[in-house]
């Protein structure tokens, strides 16, 4: 009898299995395909490698703004993909590494027979005290007439491409679709994005998606947002997608050498025989769990993409940590997503944590919003990477409700707000922290300084201190009578703590 049986060897499954084995639990892991899951084989690792290659192409193409003259870069797509595949192979875990950690690996498809038993491929029976379902998700295929006949790429089959698509149609404007759109455009494909939502990256603030869309349009990408794809067909060997605007009904078509569909996810719950153990699940909604990530069965937990909640590797790992504590250490930990960050790896990067501005103001009418632009940040100006902005939403006492950054190193800058939120630090604490100069981290400090300045302005302590130190006395005009001294003092205050509170 195993202490823990994990179904699925992706980010979540490997993480919980490793933690449990390290603690000394007897662990079995059952994997149907390849160890490492989606993140390693078809998502995070290859997509970020492709994005980096595309970023390099763009840097070379725009090098002349630094006074560096280089010939136009030539993209050897098979070589780019060869590097991507080599990286994937390097990241892919092996059964041996699990064995070394004391985890028993079983290959095949498990199905629950009873609350404490799974049967693998109808042959091998495994008994366990506790189970974790971490079988992930897969790309959903939208119901578009003709789509099945024309064929299309998805985020998995895309990695089999041997030549750069000449023209690529991307259906879907969620992070993965948008990341691929920019990467292929920069590598040299002509890209068109068809989105059924009014804005790209619909989970983000409008301000964020507008900024990203403008950048992507500058990269040559064409967008049709708020459209329904009504038909897919083949014409002279090319794929033609017809679309209709949801508002107004305008129609159009776009033709491409390749079509990529990146529209949504379905949970991998089929074949597990979950009904037999009372676990509620369906592919469209994922597995139902409570705050402890326990299913309706008291022995069976679920984590990661199979929940269809927060489809990120770091979310799966966070959930794995909670389930480890509950299933192995027998604690009663609850999952808290308040400070769960996410990023969209476009250039400029987008990173968000907590509430968006609109939701923060709706839930906390007295919330304050501080805003800063990258073209005001010294490091960004030095590097010539001045695109983008950052904003943070806080309560009047400085408790961070959310932050959004669009710009260079956004995900790194954001991490400072995540640490603060996780550990009960407020924006004032960030203002009191020394930041290395000149770095992109200065963006967090700029926002924090704005908060610190508004907090002290007009406070009793500041007024008393001013009075005591004599700063309230009228200042003498400079000899030339321009008022220069006063102006300088005021601009100093503004630089240290200018507030863009949007009047909230």
Ligand X SMILES: Cc1cc2nc3c(=O)[nH]c(=O)nc-3n(C[C@H](O)[C@H](O)[C@H](O)COP(=O)(O)OP(=O)(O)OC[C@H]3O[C@@H](n4cnc5c(N)ncnc54)[C@H](O)[C@@H]3O)c2cc1C
Residue (115 or 159) nearer to ligand X, CB:
159
Sign of the torsion formed by the C-alpha atoms of 488, 489, 492 and 494: negative
**Cis peptide leading into 438, omega within 30 of 0?**
yes
CB of 134 to ligand X, least distance (A): 5
In this structure, are residues 142 and 16 in contact, taking their beta carbons and an 8 Å threshold? no
CB of 305 to ligand X, least distance (A): 4
Residue (270 or 290) nearer to ligand X, CB:
270
Rounded distance between C-alpha atoms, residue 213 and residue 222, angstroms:
9
CB of 286 to ligand X, least distance (A): 10
Burial class (CB in 10 A: 0-12, 13-18, 19+), 21: buried
| Residue 346 per-residue DSSP state | S
CB of 139 to ligand X, least distance (A): 7
Residue (98 or 316) nearer to ligand X, CB:
316
Give residue number: closest CB to ligand X: 10
CB of 316 to ligand X, least distance (A): 4
| Residue 72 per-residue DSSP state | P
3-state secondary structure of 209: helix
Rounded distance between C-alpha atoms, residue 214 and residue 221, angstroms:
9
Residue (311 or 408) nearer to ligand X, CB:
311
Q: Which residues pair with 111 in a beta bridge?
A: 119
Burial class (CB in 10 A: 0-12, 13-18, 19+), 238: middle
Residue (31 or 357) nearer to ligand X, CB:
31
CB of 320 to ligand X, least distance (A): 8
Rounded distance between C-alpha atoms, residue 446 and residue 290, angstroms:
39
Residue (60 or 321) nearer to ligand X, CB:
321
**Cα dist. 315→73, 75, 309 in Å?**
37, 35, 9
Residue (13 or 348) nearer to ligand X, CB:
13
In the complex, which residues of this chain contact ligand X (CB under 6 A)? 7-13, 30-33, 37-39, 43-44, 47-48, 109-110, 134-136, 155, 176, 268, 271-272, 304-306, 311-314, 316, 345
CB of 457 to ligand X, least distance (A): 40
């Amino acid at each position: 009898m195993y202490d823990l049986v994990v179904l699925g060897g992706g980010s979540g499954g490997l993480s919980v299995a490793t933690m449990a084995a390290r603690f000394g639990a007897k662990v079995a892991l059952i994997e149907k395909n390849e160890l490492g899951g989606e993140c390693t084989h078809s998502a995070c690792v290859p997509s970020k490698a492709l994005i980096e290659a595309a970023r390099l192409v763009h840097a070379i193409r725009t090098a002349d703004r630094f006074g560096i003259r280089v010939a136009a870069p030539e993209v050897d797509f098979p070589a780019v993909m060869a590097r991507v595949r080599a990286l994937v192979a390097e990241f892919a875990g092996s059964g041996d590494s699990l064995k070394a950690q004391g985890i028993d690996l079983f290959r095949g498809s498990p199905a629950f027979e009873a609350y404490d038993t799974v049967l693998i491929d109808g042959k091998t029976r495994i008994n366990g005290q506790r189970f974790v379902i971490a079988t992930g998700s897969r790309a959903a295929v939208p119901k578009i007439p003709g789509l099945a006949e024309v064929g299309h790429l998805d985020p998995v089959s895309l990695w089999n491409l041997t030549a750069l698509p000449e023209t690529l149609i991307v259906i879907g404007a969620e992070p993965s679709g948008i990341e691929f759109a920019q990467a292929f455009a920069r590598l040299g494909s002509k890209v068109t994005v068809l989105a059924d939502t009014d804005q790209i990256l619909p989970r983000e603030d409008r301000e964020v998606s507008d900024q990203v869309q403008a950048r992507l349009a500058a990269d040559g990408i064409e967008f049709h947002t708020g459209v329904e794809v009504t038909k897919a067909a083949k014409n002279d060997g090319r794929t033609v997608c017809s679309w209709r605007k949801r508002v107004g009904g305008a129609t159009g078509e776009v033709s491409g050498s390749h079509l990529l569909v990146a529209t949504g996810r379905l949970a991998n719950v089929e074949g597990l025989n979950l009904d037999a153990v009372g676990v509620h699940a369906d592919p469209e909604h994922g597995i139902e769990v409570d705050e402890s990530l326990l299913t309706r069965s008291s022995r069976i937990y679920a984590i990661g993409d199979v929940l269809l909640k927060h489809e990120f590797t770091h979310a799966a790992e966070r959930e794995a940590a909670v389930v480890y504590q509950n299933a192995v250490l027998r604690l009663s930990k609850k999952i808290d997503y308040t400070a769960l960050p996410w990023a969209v790896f476009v250039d400029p990067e987008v990173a968000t944590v907590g509430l968006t501005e609109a939701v923060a103001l709706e839930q906390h009418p007295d919330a304050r919003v501080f805003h800063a632009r990258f073209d005001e940040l010294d490091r960004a100006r030095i590097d010539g990477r001045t695109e983008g902005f950052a904003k943070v939403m806080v309560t009047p006492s400085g408790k961070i409700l959310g932050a959004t950054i669009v710009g260079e190193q956004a995900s790194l800058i954001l991490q400072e707000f995540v640490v603060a939120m996780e550990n009960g630090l407020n924006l004032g604490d960030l203002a009191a922290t020394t930041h290395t100069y000149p770095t992109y981290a200065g963006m967090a400090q700029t926002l924090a300084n704005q908060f610190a300045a508004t907090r002290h302005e007009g406070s009793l302590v500041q007024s008393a201190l001013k009075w005591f130190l004599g700063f309230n006395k009228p200042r003498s005009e400079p000899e030339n009578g321009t008022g220069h001294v006063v102006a300088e003092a005021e601009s100093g205050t503004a630089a240290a703590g200018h507030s863009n509170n949007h009047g909230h």
